[in-house]
Structure 1
Amino acid sequence: MSSLPPLLWLQAFEASARTLSFTAAGRELGVTQAAISQRIRLLEDRLGQKLFVRHPRSLSLTPAGQAWLPSILDGFARIGEGTQEVFGSAAERTVTLRATPVMQQNWLAPRLIAFHRAHPALAVRLVSAIWPDDFGPEGADIELRYGLGNWSGVEGVCLGDESLLPVCSPSLASTLHEPADLADHTLLHAAGFAVGWPTWLELAGVAGLDERGPALTCDNQVMTLALASQGGGVALTHRRLFASRDDLVAPFTLSVPSAERFWMVRPARRQSREESSLLWDWLVDGLSEDA
């Protein structure tokens, strides 16, 4: 046992290798990025080999790190399974679900209310995530992600085809008769999406209009939709999210399709607990009803 590095160092490596970010690993483990970086350096000194290649804004695993990671993941998984087998508790009935705030508010909330009424004894813990680095197959039983669906280590169910369209308050919509009228209003941008205002405006025949008028950029759609609902501008949002709002209207019927979609995913390398499977199946069954 004396040959094993300290557990804190192993945790730092596992979290950093999974997220490819010292910052994300520190956030997950409740320490600073500097603390994670120091633990990794100590671990690399102990092993006599580099585990990560440090790039200006990212990390990648060295061949040695890639070769070692499966053993570390398996070790933590076996410890977790053994702990559950011997010391299982009522707390394990809690299902952790990670999603972006806008999905929690506009898509998930009504479904969770119905689920809780049907299964009041099962506790659900919601965890918010905004950026891709906030997600990961560990730490959550189920996740609602947005992207192309090509993530490793998870199995996923697509929530359906997705398209984006402009939305705003009813009073502002009354002033919009054609796409060119958007030049007189603030365009609300949500960062991090492959399809944005430039794509929609080009499809509408007014390419470049976004470069000439006022704009506001937010890091999440919760804020862009809040601003739009209060007359603060016009937001481009997913049709799936707009469908549940009664404070927004679509001034134009034109929507632009997106290759990115919303997905429900769960870790593929471990068997789901009964409680997690219950919520998963409930949400999946609801997709067929939506269709």
Structure 2
Amino acid sequence: MKKRLPPLNWLRSFEASARHQNFTSAANELNLTQAAISQQVKNLESQLGAVLFKRLPRGIELTDAGLAYMPAVHESINRLSSITDELFGNSQNRPLIIRASLVFFTTWLAPRVNRFYQEFPDINIRFTSNIWREDKDKKNEYDLDIRYGQGNWPDIKAEQLTWDELFPVCSPNLLMGLSSPLSIDILKEHTLLHVLGYEEGWGYWLNTVNSDKKSKHSGIQFDTLISALEMAKLGQGFALGRTSLVKSMLENGSLVAPFEESIKTSEAFYLTYPNHQYLTPNAEKFRQWILNESKI
């Protein structure tokens, strides 16, 4: 038989006491007396049939049972507080914060986002770049994060947005005077535009297609793919294009894919958020919208 759910006030007193390791500090936070906090914790322990704290001469310490119970209570209170504020508090007007790489936003998301606003005109969005390394203390300052990788991040829910092939692209001006079909051997005579941070770069591509190009790591390095693509459009070398990111550039002729060789990527862009994170109503609307867009 299931135990009856304890009153919320008892759980709040336990959670605050566990965080502060002190009944007095918990009482100050909750605007109660120290005696009231202590009594509510005792009531909770009595209902659960377990001791949650060791009472020490100076403060308190969680027992094994308390340590096991605390994460679930803490998360539940935070989620209840978040949804209450989202639906009934000031955060109704808080912008939805979406983090994405510059290249994904510029080439994939920006051309589509007007369709989201047409469907949800009252939702405010703030887009932020993930160009800088994540600060662990600020990792929850966005609602949804669009990442590139293999989709296997610890404790993260990842939903795939792109299915790509990888192939060289360049400016059509770079190929003037050359006759088709072109061989990838001409890469030996041109600059390769490398992007740091991608597992499937030039070395991987050349090895996969069995190219004998010797200087696989020569060329220019960039920390963003959008920079490499812009340099390729200017005729400064060959970049590696991913289907979803260069589609419009191939269609408008600013880039061409001169070779038949291409390989499927094992990496992709994913919409991500922590496994146990509650998605606000606006975040859920954006999630459903972008997943539908990924199928177009």
Question: Larger deviation: 141-150 or 125-134?
Answer: 125-134
Q: Which residue identity lines up with residue 272 of structure 1 in the other structure?
A: L
Q: CA deviation at 1:90?
A: 3.8
Structure 2 CA distance for partners of 1:86 and 1:274, relative to 1, 3 Å: closer
Q: Which residue identity lines up with residue 244 of structure 1 in the other structure?
A: S
RMSD value over aligned CA atoms? 3.2
Q: CA deviation at 1:180?
A: 1.2
Structure 2 CA distance for partners of 1:67 and 1:224, relative to 1, 3 Å: farther
| 1:146 match | 148
Q: Give the Cα–Cα distance (whole angstroms) in 2 for the partners of residues 226 and 264 of structure 1.
A: 25
| 1:196 match | 201
3-state DSSP of counterpart to 2:131: coil
Q: Which residue identity lines up with residue 100 of structure 2 in the other structure?
A: A
User: Do the aligned residues in 1 keep the contact of 2:194 with 2:202 (CA within 8 Å)?
Assistant: yes
Deviations for 1:223-251, whole angstroms, at most 9, x for unmatched residues?
Answer: 00010001111101212111122311111
Structure 2 CA distance for partners of 1:279 and 1:81, relative to 1, 3 Å: closer
2:268 equivalent to 1:261: yes
Paired residues for 1:30-69 under 5 Å: none
Which one has the largest radius of gyration? 2
User: 5+ residue gaps in structure 2?
Assistant: 1-15, 22-66
Q: Give the Cα–Cα distance (whole angstroms) in 1 for the partners of residues 81 and 280 of structure 2.
A: 16
3-state DSSP of counterpart to 1:155: strand
Structure 2 CA distance for partners of 1:209 and 1:103, relative to 1, 3 Å: same
User: Do the aligned residues in 1 keep the contact of 2:99 with 2:128 (CA within 8 Å)?
Assistant: yes
2:226 equivalent to 1:222: yes
2:241 equivalent to 1:237: yes
Q: Which residue identity lines up with residue 278 of structure 2 in the other structure?
A: Q
Structure 2 CA distance for partners of 1:88 and 1:248, relative to 1, 3 Å: same
| 2:101 match | 100
Q: CA deviation at 1:133?
A: 3.3
Structure 2 CA distance for partners of 1:84 and 1:262, relative to 1, 3 Å: closer
Q: Give the Cα–Cα distance (whole angstroms) in 2 for the partners of residues 69 and 190 of structure 1.
A: 44
Deviations for 1:96-148, whole angstroms, at most 9, x for unmatched residues?
Answer: 11100000001101221111122222111101013663698622222211111
3-state DSSP of counterpart to 1:242: helix
Structure 2 CA distance for partners of 1:103 and 1:69, relative to 1, 3 Å: farther
2:280 equivalent to 1:273: yes
User: Do the aligned residues in 2 keep the contact of 1:146 with 1:263 (CA within 8 Å)?
Assistant: yes
User: Do the aligned residues in 1 keep the contact of 2:188 with 2:213 (CA within 8 Å)?
Assistant: no
User: Do the aligned residues in 2 keep the contact of 1:100 with 1:130 (CA within 8 Å)?
Assistant: yes
Q: Give the Cα–Cα distance (whole angstroms) in 2 for the partners of residues 209 and 134 of structure 1.
A: 38
User: Do the aligned residues in 2 keep the contact of 1:143 with 1:265 (CA within 8 Å)?
Assistant: yes
3-state DSSP of counterpart to 1:205: coil
Structure 2 CA distance for partners of 1:79 and 1:4, relative to 1, 3 Å: farther
Of residues 163, 168, 171, the one that matches 2:170 is 168
| 1:181 match | 186
Q: Give the Cα–Cα distance (whole angstroms) in 1 for the partners of residues 222 and 155 of structure 2.
A: 30
Q: CA deviation at 1:260?
A: 1.5
Q: CA deviation at 1:181?
A: 0.8
| 1:206 match | 211
Total equivalences in the alignment: 228
Q: Which residue identity lines up with residue 229 of structure 1 in the other structure?
A: K
Question: Larger deviation: 138-147 or 176-185?
Answer: 176-185
TM-score, normalised with respect to structure 1: 0.68
3-state DSSP of counterpart to 1:223: helix
Deviations for 1:140-183, whole angstroms, at most 9, x for unmatched residues?
Answer: 22221111111233322112432211111011134482111111
TM-score, normalised with respect to structure 2: 0.66
Of residues 251, 264, 276, the one that matches 2:258 is 251
3-state DSSP of counterpart to 1:217: strand
